[in-house]
Amino acid sequence: MSAEKVVIGIVAGVAVGAILGVLFAPDKGSETRNKIVSKGEDTIHDLKIKVSNMMDMLAEKFHEEEKELAKKIKA
């Protein structure tokens, strides 16, 4: 099993646990819905940041490889 799958599984487990915790909390329905929406927005924001960071890292790696290839072609 790859580390990526393990991380995805952990994140999914935490998300499900948080949602279940909110659903079974003794709050009013409107408060519970607001909490679910807030948690969802937070999760989406975190995922956007992680994807953005991953894309930046991949772009940097691509440019490094591009420079190395250009050096090899010139040699």
pLDDT band at 64; cut points 50, 70, 90: very high
| Closest by Cα among 32, 56, 52, 33 to 44 | 52
pTM of the model: 0.53
| Percent of the chain's residues with pLDDT above 90 | 16
Contact call for residues 36 and 19 (beta carbons, < 8 A): yes
Domain boundaries, the chain: 3-74
- pLDDT tens figures, 9-45: 888 888 888 778 777 777 777 887 888 888 889 888 8
pLDDT at 65 over 80: yes
- When pLDDT is cut at 50, 70 and 90, the band that residue 63 belongs to is very high
